[in-house]
Structure 1
Amino acid sequence: MNDIKISVILPVYNEQEYIQATLDSIINQNFDDYEVIVIDDGSTDDSLRIIKETFADSSISHKIIHQENSGVSVARNRGIEEACGEYIVFVDGDDYILTNHLSELYNPDYDFSLIQMIKNEGQNVSSPHVYGVEEISAKDFIKLELEMKVPFNFVQLSYKRDIIKNHGLRFREDISYGEDSDFALRALIYGDTIKISDEITYYYLQHQESLINTSKLKRFDFIPVLEDLGEFFRENSHPDLVELIRSSRIPRAIFGNMNYFFYNDYDYDEVIGKMNELDLFDKLSNFRGDRKFAFKIKLFLFNPKLYYKLWKKFKNSI
């Protein structure tokens, strides 16, 4: 197993409609010396059968682990424990990757590599970000993410396993929203440089059922996660990142999720009540940055009900 270059970690839970396409995309890579670690998180449908039958006909090195339903973070952490590769790559059970995904992500001179991802949410398809550079320092990338100047999902990265192992990095198992961003940003602080590819190799498919599962007011629970991340950066002597979390990432997360709830017709009083409960108004007022965005926040804070009515009337044009 010492020649394994990449470990692909694939958590699965009741993905029988999509898992075959995902598995086929992982197996049909133009890359050698990789392993696939599938963690079936207590599926009650035919997912596990499909997984076993698919790998029965494949020569790809693999492990199939079945566990009681414990959540995606537990599943990913089990995958990390089992991984033998030089790098770790994550794929979700209802997405798919192109044949050059692993070859684009394997760059042994770098701590991390990054590819581009397309999000397909119903009729909406996202556009990738063109970086225009071949590499970037990990810390500069963190700053771009905290200022939300680049679209980012943790599955876009390959992670040097030694960084994950030596620093005991794992996905938080006590939260159900934002654990992936938290993991990626903590890992990146221990690295040096990210190799960037402008190749689009990952396709993220947002299904209606998964949209429902992530559209609850618990999205606001990402704010305490960001605050914990800020404390982590403080302990690791990065006061500039602490300030970016306070004055950029947290206000943007609050405002973005609030507008998401308005767009999806959540009850106004319920949303505002949750914001008051979590003391999000004061945290929203900490924003420093883009003037247009700052104006929107000021308008909301001046009169939340008026902002809501205007927003509903003009649908995100303010």
Structure 2
Amino acid sequence: MKVSVIIPVYNTVEYLEDCLESVINQTYKDLEIIVVNDASTDNSGLVIDELMKADNRIKKYDLTERKGVGSARNKGIEVATGDYLYFVDSDDVIHENAIKHLVDHIGDDRIMSGSVSTIKSLDQMEEFEENEVPEIKVRKTSKVYTSRTVQKGLFSRKAVIDHNIKFLENVTTYSDYSFVYAFFANEPYTQYTRDSRYFRRKRVDLINNPNILEEADYYQRSIDYLNMYLSVEPEYSETPNVKYIIDTDLMNFYRKTFLLFMRDPEEYEEVFDLLNQVFNKLSSKVYRKQNPFVKREIRAIQKGDAEKFKNLIRLHHILSDVKRGATSRTNLRKLIYNRVFLKQSVKRDHVVFESFMGKGYSCNPKSIYEYMLENRPNYKFIWINNGKQLDIPGNPKQVKRYSLGYYYYMARAKYWVFNTRLPKHVKKRDETVYLQTWHGTPLKRLGVDIEAVQMPGTDTGRYKKNFTFESSRWDYLISPNQYSSDIFRRAFNFDNKMLEYGYPRNDILHQANQGDIDRIKKKAGIPVDKKVILYAPTWRDNQFIEKGKYSFELPLDLDRMREELSDEYVLVLRLHYLVASQLELTGYEDFAYDLSTYDDIAELYLISDILVTDYSSVFFDYANLNRPILFYTYDLDDYKGKIRGLYFDIETEVPSPLLMTSDELINAIKNIDELNENYKEKYKEFYNRFCSWENGKAAENVVKTVFGEEA
């Protein structure tokens, strides 16, 4: 028995070769591989051509203009010659025995099903355990195809032709429904086996390479769904069992997608005529099963009373929000934020500041605040903390993150000044001005430039999509240099105003004097008469054991460092907060100081005579001081290859040698003057590239741009 595998293709060059090879390498060999190129604009066609040379079972059909997945699959059916049809999306893959298990057990049936698993990478396919003897079960076809898609199934081509079964071509999404509903009508029961596995790949980059079906907005989904219903319902209006399934699906879509996501009354008006047509076809059997609130909404739709429907929907959402708010304090605060605080007027003199999600009083927000405190005292300042009161001059209002006060001021303040991303659920009003200061010059890849996010519990595709949503809310973004501006535009998909003044947090590096340095040393408990080595390594994305647990081992030989350097130097350690708690310095108290929780790293720069770092962006800021920087990159190969990747070649572009051992680091510190002389010109080039915008007036320039010139 020949199987025609139909693969519609549109701009999936990143995944296509894996897809086709998974079909080519099937243990069942009697295949006809039909690839329908739906007018792709990338190099998908070239990939198909290359694989055709190696396997004459592949047949390519090029559409001259894009028609959509429904049309592409119908074209595949039209040219197919196999006994059975099997559909694969071009960004997915199938297990090597997927088709064999179906062919071996379909017998005289006209449909048989396998199973679907979602994977993020091909490595996850190896986790699939296949039974030596496939387990075959029989269930209602509608219960097997709960997602109403054709993925995983083997379908008789004769049955498709005899019943004129086709995919819908007038919708972008939901084109499969017409096909599976037809089989529900003609094949009420089907065999299925979990051992025939179809792997649906979850796309990593939803920004530059979106899944058009999954990423369609909810308005378009609603239009498509209603048009799909109007296309298929007439065929089954006299087939009670299928009509019941179609109408039940409609009500599920109405409750789970339409009501939950289309909260703007203006959008209802655009689809209300379609709703009216659809719900006047709803069966009384399905109508009777709805709750009284939904029945009232349906009656308003059927009567064409758009105004009443709008009011009922508004009430529906209010009641849903209240019900959700009653489940927890967090949900109650969100309810009050959305239903009460966002309805109140904006306070034009209120400014909310947050640094690193409320963990401290530091970074660019601190510098902007202190400039405003002195030069714009007429503003009302609010600082967000994480539950611990911060030591902040000027006695601003402080609120705990996610408290009721937090939501109140986030809703009502005219200005937000943040250096990290906001929670997605905190809505930004049109009147609100969002100043995103960010917190470093990018060395490691950021935002949509990251190939794979390795933080536990984080989905890469969703991370990128959320990041882009967040950056779309920024009215202003501060940049420290042209290099950063170029990366920020791309990595954040940022197209609003870039403030190219340098970082406000670096103003202190151009303004401080020796008295400031001595004061900070005393405050930090550092001997005033000793030079300071600051060790500030980056956070490594792979330093986790599981979600909430992280691993760390200090890669310095503290005994040798103390022996060789302690007469002249002390060592200050500034580690990432997730691993700093594991630092053990017992016995080294007179030499090594853990200042990982010290709020303002700029003050640590000021007191340091040498910076030791690796792949952290701290060295870009520290270079403003024109003091020595040493790069301790003991895991460079692993970092470049396995973690986040770097934007530039650290082996050639930094103004210092790369040191791989503690011995090399100690030797470099002991000979620091000679090293400085050898790298003098390279340091100058580096400074001009990354620090030339800094002049001690960044905070002033930012405030004048965002808040206007002083009255």
Write the letter of the residue equivalent to 2:226.
Answer: I
Contact 1:223–1:253, Cα closer than 8 Å, also in 2:
no
**Corresponding position of 2:216:** 214
**Corresponding position of 2:116:** 117
State the distance in 1 between where 2:172 and 2:183 align. 19
State the distance in 1 between where 2:272 and 2:90 align. 36
CA-CA distance at 1:271 after TM superposition: 4.6
Correspondence 1:48 to 2:51: no
CA-CA distance at 1:308 after TM superposition: 5.3
Using CA pairs below 8 Å that are at least 6 residues apart, which structure has the higher relative contact order?
1
Contact 1:251–1:284, Cα closer than 8 Å, also in 2:
no
Write the letter of the residue equivalent to 1:231.
Answer: P
Correspondence 1:305 to 2:317: yes
Kindly report which structure 2 residues correspond to 1:1-318, keeping only aligned pairs within 5 A, or say none.
5-58=2-55, 61-68=57-64, 69-106=66-103, 107-120=106-119, 134-136=137-139, 140-142=140-142, 144=143, 150-191=146-187, 193-199=189-195, 201-207=197-203, 208=206, 209-210=210-211, 213-221=215-223, 222-235=225-238, 238-246=239-247, 248-258=248-258, 261=261, 268-274=264-270, 276-277=272-273, 278-279=275-276, 287-289=287-289, 294=291, 297=294, 303-307=315-319, 309-310=321-322
Write the letter of the residue equivalent to 1:36.
Answer: I
SS at match of 2:99: helix
Contact 2:167–2:177, Cα closer than 8 Å, also in 1:
no
> Could you list the per-position Cα deviations for residues 225-263 of structure 1 after superposition, in whole angstroms to 9, with x for gaps in the alignment?
23443321235xx223323433x22111111212562xx
State the distance in 2 between where 1:10 and 1:72 align. 9
Distance 1:133 1:32, change over 3 A: closer
Two-structure CA RMSD over aligned residues (Å): 3.5
CA-CA distance at 1:56 after TM superposition: 1.3
Unaligned runs of 5+ in 2: 125-134, 298-311, 332-711
Contact 1:250–1:284, Cα closer than 8 Å, also in 2:
no
Unaligned runs of 5+ in 1: 126-131
Distance 1:228 1:281, change over 3 A: closer
> Could you list the per-position Cα deviations for residues 6-65 of structure 1 after superposition, in whole angstroms to 9, with x for gaps in the alignment?
000001011111101111111111112111000111111110101111221235x12111
**Corresponding position of 1:128:** none
The normalised TM-score by structure 1 is 0.77
> Could you list the per-position Cα deviations for residues 158-214 of structure 1 after superposition, in whole angstroms to 9, with x for gaps in the alignment?
110001112222212222221112212113423364221122511122432126642
Write the letter of the residue equivalent to 2:13.
Answer: Q
SS at match of 1:178: coil
CA-CA distance at 1:133 after TM superposition: 6.6
The normalised TM-score by structure 2 is 0.37
State the distance in 2 between where 1:210 and 1:98 align. 22
CA-CA distance at 1:269 after TM superposition: 2.7
Distance 1:200 1:33, change over 3 A: closer
Write the letter of the residue equivalent to 2:165.
Answer: L
Say which one has the larger Rg: 2
Distance 1:287 1:23, change over 3 A: same
CA-CA distance at 1:288 after TM superposition: 4.9
Write the letter of the residue equivalent to 1:7.
Answer: S
Contact 1:117–1:201, Cα closer than 8 Å, also in 2:
yes
Distance 1:163 1:311, change over 3 A: farther
Write the letter of the residue equivalent to 1:25.
Answer: S
Contact 1:114–1:196, Cα closer than 8 Å, also in 2:
yes
Write the letter of the residue equivalent to 1:76.
Answer: R
Contact 1:163–1:191, Cα closer than 8 Å, also in 2:
no
Write the letter of the residue equivalent to 1:119.
Answer: T
Contact 2:136–2:191, Cα closer than 8 Å, also in 1:
no
Higher alpha-carbon deviation: 105-114 or 156-165? 105-114
Number of residue-to-residue matches in the alignment: 288
Higher alpha-carbon deviation: 274-283 or 157-166? 274-283
SS at match of 1:189: helix
CA-CA distance at 1:272 after TM superposition: 3.9
SS at match of 1:210: coil
State the distance in 2 between where 1:120 and 1:13 align. 20
> Could you list the per-position Cα deviations for residues 270-315 of structure 1 after superposition, in whole angstroms to 9, with x for gaps in the alignment?
45445644237886995455xxx84885799572230453477579
